[in-house]
Amino acid sequence: LKIVVNEVPVPVAYGPAYEGERVRGEDIYLECGGGRTPMVEWVTSKPIDDVVDGLVTVNGPDVNEVSAGAKLPLAILVEVAGRQMQDDYEPILERQIHHLINYAQGVMHIGQRDIAWLRISKGAVEKGFRLEHIGKLLHAKLHQDFGRIFDKLQIKIYTSAEDVLAITAKAKEAYAARDSRVAGMTDESVDTFYSCLLCQSFAPSHVCVISPERTGLCGSYNWMDCKASFEINPLGPNQPVPKGQTLEPRLGQWKGVNEFVFKASRGAVDHYNFYSIISDPMTACGCMECISAILPLCNGVMTVNREFTEMTPCGMKFTTLAGTIGGGVTTPGFVGHSKYNITQRKFLAAEDGIKRLVWMPRSLKEEVSDLFNERANEIGIPDLLSRIADETIGTTEEEILPFLTEKNHPALSLDPLL
């Protein structure tokens, strides 16, 4: 029996019209994630008997139990079950959380996975919006849009740090397992990539094209996920993109991709390169997990993740960088990408890949270290990670250059970047 849900049971207006709306400053009633508190969202499958369709629980303080301006940790755990449900579909359902929450008037959602960010406005709270409504709207909309692939869905919301951290730890294992599904694949081994147009509502000219060796810049979608998404929803945002003729093997440019991007950006972008930060790099929306920027003095590249809110050696913080490159245009010298992409073999391949990386926040180094060290081993520089500077060494090019010199960082002996 398929459950049909027509209404979205929330006490605020609801629809795509509210998607781009911001909640700022004095207007914020509750804030979660965004580097202020831990926040995670995770969709996972369960045996059918373990899911009560439509169940929404809120564990920990809700909006009406905190005062205006409060910050809370938040986990949104969505458990699905059904005969058609496959693990492959989890990331697709999970990525819907972003726009489905944004559809609620007075509620702002940014990011994904364990770097999500939520704000609920005073206006929404006055109208009666509570955390349980996040669960209710997800239940209603996911049934409407994806009811074909699951039968039952329940949502558990947590706002205590202990619960949120425990769920984050499990979710991270699931994220890593998803990421690794494309680990053995190469861009040469397929003749079709996939588009993602989910973010066009925010960045109308932005088109993600996702190849096995370049996961979506938000980190939520890799080639496998897009393939599954197309199978579920053949008219949806993830369309097959035939590569066509290879135009620039070193930069990563294909005729079929250019044609697709031109059409899907309505003529705004006619080409971009998958593997370069200098020559017409891929466009970006606002969702990137990381941003790379060139550091001319060091003849290298830095990369910074969203969670790192301090100054970086390119002279900009993450938020400023995101504002600079996030409008759906190509910005030479800057590129948005996922965390996982740092450890994919084609990462900045046109500029010698990870050999160019001269600075990363310490936490990002730790987070990617296992896979990064595998890549470093492959290229014959097993200790590369320890030769890369971080904020404890410095946050300007001048501060980190002596360290790079002392460590004999490989970037210093590569061809000039510019």
In whole angstroms, give the CA distance from residue 335 to residue 252: 14
In whole angstroms, give the CA distance from residue 227 to residue 234: 10
In whole angstroms, give the CA distance from residue 165 to residue 61: 16
Interaction between residue 384 and ligand SF4 (CB under 6 A): no
Out of 10, 101, 199, 301, name the contact with ligand SF4 by CB under 6 A.
199
Query: 70 burial class (0-12, 13-18, 19+ CB within 10 angstroms)?
Result: middle
Q: Which does 168 bind (CB under 5 to 8 A by kind): ligand SF4, Zn ion, none?
A: none
User: CB of residue 19 vs Zn ion: minimum separation in angstroms?
Assistant: 11
- Residue pair 289/316 in contact (Cβ under 8 Å)? The answer is no
Q: Are strands 300-305 and 357-359 parallel, antiparallel or unpaired?
A: parallel
Interaction between residue 196 and Zn ion (CB under 5 A): no
Out of 287, 302, 349, 368, name the contact with Zn ion by CB under 5 A.
287
Size of the site for Zn ion (CB under 5 A): 3
User: CB of residue 32 vs ligand SF4: minimum separation in angstroms?
Assistant: 20
Interaction between residue 304 and ligand SF4 (CB under 6 A): no
Out of 92, 285, 301, 350, name the contact with ligand SF4 by CB under 6 A.
285
Q: Which does 196 bind (CB under 5 to 8 A by kind): ligand SF4, Zn ion, none?
A: ligand SF4
Interaction between residue 287 and ligand SF4 (CB under 6 A): yes
Stretch that binds Zn ion, among 22-30, 179-187, 233-241, 286-294 (CB under 5 A): 286-294
In whole angstroms, give the CA distance from residue 250 to residue 346: 10
Interaction between residue 304 and Zn ion (CB under 5 A): no
Size of the site for ligand SF4 (CB under 6 A): 12
User: CB of residue 259 vs Zn ion: minimum separation in angstroms?
Assistant: 22
Within 8 A by CB and 6+ apart from 225, the residues are 88, 91, 92, 178, 238
- Residue pair 135/52 in contact (Cβ under 8 Å)? The answer is no
Residue number, 82 or 111, with CB nearest to ligand SF4: 111
SS3 of residue 350 by DSSP = helix
Torsion, Cα 165 167 170 173, to 10 degrees, reads -70
Residue number, 12 or 92, with CB nearest to ligand SF4: 92
Radius of gyration from C-alpha coordinates of the chain = 21
Interaction between residue 133 and ligand SF4 (CB under 6 A): no
Interaction between residue 285 and Zn ion (CB under 5 A): yes
Q: Which does 264 bind (CB under 5 to 8 A by kind): ligand SF4, Zn ion, none?
A: none
Interaction between residue 10 and ligand SF4 (CB under 6 A): no
Residue number, 109 or 152, with CB nearest to ligand SF4: 109
Q: Which of residues 220-279 bind ligand SF4 (CB under 6 A)?
A: 220-221
Stated as kind and residue range, the H or E segment containing 146 is helix 131-146
Q: What is the DSSP string of 296-316?
A: GGGTEEEEEETT--S--TTS-
- Residue pair 217/337 in contact (Cβ under 8 Å)? The answer is yes
Interaction between residue 77 and ligand SF4 (CB under 6 A): no
Residue number, 39 or 411, with CB nearest to Zn ion: 39
Q: Which does 217 bind (CB under 5 to 8 A by kind): ligand SF4, Zn ion, none?
A: ligand SF4
Stretch that binds Zn ion, among 165-173, 280-288, 371-379, 390-398 (CB under 5 A): 280-288
Interaction between residue 217 and ligand SF4 (CB under 6 A): yes
Q: Which does 108 bind (CB under 5 to 8 A by kind): ligand SF4, Zn ion, none?
A: none
Residue number, 219 or 313, with CB nearest to ligand SF4: 219
Interaction between residue 101 and ligand SF4 (CB under 6 A): no
- Residue pair 237/209 in contact (Cβ under 8 Å)? The answer is no
In whole angstroms, give the CA distance from residue 333 to residue 278: 5
**Angle at CA of residue 113, ends 107 and 117, nearest 5°:** 30
In whole angstroms, give the CA distance from residue 63 to residue 72: 9
Footprint of Zn ion (CB under 5 A): 199, 285, 287
Which residues contribute to the site for ligand SF4 (CB under 6 A)? 95, 196, 198-199, 208, 216-218, 220-221, 285, 287
